[in-house]
A and B are shown apart, each in its own frame.
Chain A
Amino acid sequence: MRPEGRGEYDSLYFTYPQFEAPAADAPRDTDAPVIIVGAGPVGMTAALTLAAEGVRCLLVEAKGTFNDGSRAICVSRSSYHILERIGAVAPFLREGLPWTMGRTLYRGQQILEFQMPDGSDDRFRPMYNLQQQYIEAFLWDAVAAQPLIETRWQTRVTAVEDQDGGVAVTLSDPHGDYRVSAPWLLAADGARSAIRGMRGLRLKGENYEGRYVIADVRMAHDYPTIRRALFDPGCRPGGTVLIHRQPQDIWRIDYQLGDGESAEEATREDVVRASVSAVLAEIGHTGDWELEWWSVYSANTLALDEYRDGRVFFIGDSAHIVPIFGVRGLNNGLADAQNIGWKLGRVVTGRAGEGLLDSYTPERRGATLDVFANAQKSTRFMTPPTAGWRLMRDAALSLALTQDWAGQLANPRQMTPYTYADSPAVVAGAGGFGPAAALGAMLPDAAEGDGFLSECLGPGFTLLCFGPALEVAHLDLTVLSLPCDGAAGKRLGAAKGAALLIRPDLHIGARWSAPTPQAVLAAIATILSTKVA
Chain B
Amino acid sequence: MPDIEDVFDTLATTLDQVGVERAPLFLAKAALALAQALNDPERARAIIEAAARPDPAHQR
B36 near A395 (CB under 8 angstroms)? Answer: no
A394 near B36 (CB under 8 angstroms)? Answer: no
B32 near A392 (CB under 8 angstroms)? Answer: yes
Q: CB of B12 within 8 A of chain A?
A: no
Q: CB of B25 within 8 A of chain A?
A: yes
Q: How far is the CA of A467 from the CA of B29 in the complex (A)?
A: 55
Q: CB of A280 within 8 A of chain B?
A: no
Collect the chain B residues with CB atoms within 8 Å of residue A406's CB: 32-33, 36
Shortest A389–chain B CB gap in Å is: 11
Pick the contact of B33: A391, A394, A399 (CB < 8 A).
A399
Collect the chain B residues with CB atoms within 8 Å of residue A398's CB: 25, 29
Shortest A29–chain B CB gap in Å is: 63
B32 near A394 (CB under 8 angstroms)? Answer: no
Collect the chain B residues with CB atoms within 8 Å of residue A14's CB: none
B33 near A403 (CB under 8 angstroms)? Answer: yes
* B6-29 residues at the A interface, CB under 8 angstroms: 24-25, 28-29
B33 near A392 (CB under 8 angstroms)? Answer: no
Q: CB of A19 within 8 A of chain B?
A: no
Q: How far is the CA of A391 from the CA of B29 in the complex (A)?
A: 9
Q: Can you name 24 A-B residue pairings with CB atoms under 8 Å?
A: A391-B24, A391-B25, A391-B28, A392-B28, A392-B32, A394-B25, A394-B28, A395-B25, A395-B28, A395-B29, A395-B31, A395-B32, A396-B32, A398-B25, A398-B29, A399-B29, A399-B32, A399-B33, A403-B33, A403-B36, A405-B36, A406-B32, A406-B33, A406-B36
Collect the chain B residues with CB atoms within 8 Å of residue A403's CB: 33, 36
Shortest B10–chain A CB gap in Å is: 18
Please give the residue numbers on chain A whose beta carbons come within 8 Å of chain B beta carbons, in ascending order. Answer: 391-392, 394-396, 398-399, 403, 405-406
Collect the chain A residues with CB atoms within 8 Å of residue B28's CB: 391-392, 394-395
**Chief secondary structure at chain A's binding surface:** helix
Q: How far is the CA of A399 from the CA of B36 in the complex (A)?
A: 11
Collect the chain A residues with CB atoms within 8 Å of residue B32's CB: 392, 395-396, 399, 406
Collect the chain B residues with CB atoms within 8 Å of residue A396's CB: 32
Q: How far is the CA of A133 from the CA of B31 in the complex (A)?
A: 47
Residue of B nearest to A403 (CB): B33
Shortest B45–chain A CB gap in Å is: 14
Question: A-B pairs with CB below 8 Å: how many?
Answer: 24
Q: How far is the CA of A406 from the CA of B37 in the complex (A)?
A: 12
Collect the chain B residues with CB atoms within 8 Å of residue A394's CB: 25, 28
Query: Which among B24, B29, B31 has the greatest number of chain A C-beta atoms within 10 A?
Result: B29
Q: How far is the CA of A520 from the CA of B22 in the complex (A)?
A: 64
Residue of A nearest to B33 (CB): A399
Known: A394-B25, A395-B29, A398-B29. 8 other contacts (CB 8 A): A391-B25, A392-B32, A395-B28, A395-B31, A399-B29, A403-B33, A405-B36, A406-B32
Shortest B22–chain A CB gap in Å is: 10
Collect the chain A residues with CB atoms within 8 Å of residue B24's CB: 391
Shortest B38–chain A CB gap in Å is: 13
Residue of B nearest to A409 (CB): B32
Residue of B nearest to A393 (CB): B28
Q: How far is the CA of A403 from the CA of B33 in the complex (A)?
A: 9
Shortest A205–chain B CB gap in Å is: 27
Collect the chain A residues with CB atoms within 8 Å of residue B31's CB: 395
Residue of A nearest to B29 (CB): A395
Residue of A nearest to B30 (CB): A395
Q: How far is the CA of A406 from the CA of B31 in the complex (A)?
A: 12
Shortest A49–chain B CB gap in Å is: 43
Shortest A79–chain B CB gap in Å is: 34
Collect the chain B residues with CB atoms within 8 Å of residue A391's CB: 24-25, 28
Shortest A406–chain B CB gap in Å is: 7
Shortest B46–chain A CB gap in Å is: 18
Q: How far is the CA of A421 from the CA of B41 in the complex (A)?
A: 27
Q: How far is the CA of A391 from the CA of B32 in the complex (A)?
A: 11
Residue of B nearest to A394 (CB): B25
Residue of B nearest to A388 (CB): B28
Residue of A nearest to B31 (CB): A395
Q: How far is the CA of A82 from the CA of B31 in the complex (A)?
A: 45
Q: How far is the CA of A399 from the CA of B25 in the complex (A)?
A: 11
Residue of A nearest to B28 (CB): A395
Shortest A404–chain B CB gap in Å is: 11
Shortest B20–chain A CB gap in Å is: 15
Q: How far is the CA of A173 from the CA of B3 in the complex (A)?
A: 81
Shortest B21–chain A CB gap in Å is: 13
Shortest A388–chain B CB gap in Å is: 9
Shortest A408–chain B CB gap in Å is: 10
Shortest B52–chain A CB gap in Å is: 11
Q: How far is the CA of A391 from the CA of B28 in the complex (A)?
A: 7
Q: How far is the CA of A391 from the CA of B31 in the complex (A)?
A: 12
